[in-house]
Each structure stands twice: as C-alpha cells, then as structure tokens.
Amino acid sequence: MDWKDHIKTIRKAVPVGTRLDENPNTKYKIVEDEAGINRNGFRIKVGAKNFIEIPLEMLEQIFHRSISNGGLYHKAIIERLYPAEVNAKPCLVHAVGKIFAKAGIMKQTSARNYMINKE
C-alpha cells in the first residue's frame, strides 16, 4: 500500500468526532478546524481549551521514518523531525501514534511504542 492509500484509510477511520482512545474520558478527540474542513490534516482537542494540529505532511514524514526504523514509531522519531512542535506540545507524540493505530496502520505495542502492521 502506498502513502496515498494510507491517507484514504486514515481519513475514513478517523473522521471528525473520533476519540483516539477507547476510554470515554479521553482528552484526544478529532475536531473541526476553524474552516470546518480538516483537509490538510487533523485538529485534536487535548483538553478543555487546548488543541494540536497534525498536518498530513507530518504524518507522512513520521510514517516513512518509522519504516526506516524497522517499522517502529516512538518519541525519538517525531522529536528528530519536529523538535519545536514536540517541545511545545508533548502530547503530539501520543496523538500521532493513536491516529495510525485507529486507522489500523500501526499497532500500539507498549505505552510508548507503535509498530507498523504488516500488509
């Protein structure tokens, strides 16, 4: 499956309103962006008044870097690619992993690691 197919899978599996954790009290929820479109990525509510933006380009870069890392995604992957963003919003690490997991592209293997599913 190529990246364009993965984007379609993510879009279908993670629409606006999706909670990224099974826990109903989770703070990670996909919400509409200010324009109400979310065409360039995802806006995630991570608290009462806090949001993080995850562009599709970020997901693509992380996915390809994870492939180069033997299929494993973890904090060091995103920190190397987006240090300022992770420093500003550490919850970004978990949110990205949860998006991939919700779409069935990765599986959470421990509290902080995700592995790309074999096709």
pLDDT in tens, 74-98: 999 999 999 999 999 999 999 999 9
Q: Smallest Cα–Cα separation from 28: which of 5, 51, 8, 56?
A: 51
pLDDT in tens, 23-68: 766 678 888 876 665 678 899 988 788 889 999 999 999 999 999 9
Claim: this prediction has a pTM higher than 0.85: yes
Find tokens 């109400």 and name the residue.
36
Pairing state between β 72-73 and 106-110: unpaired
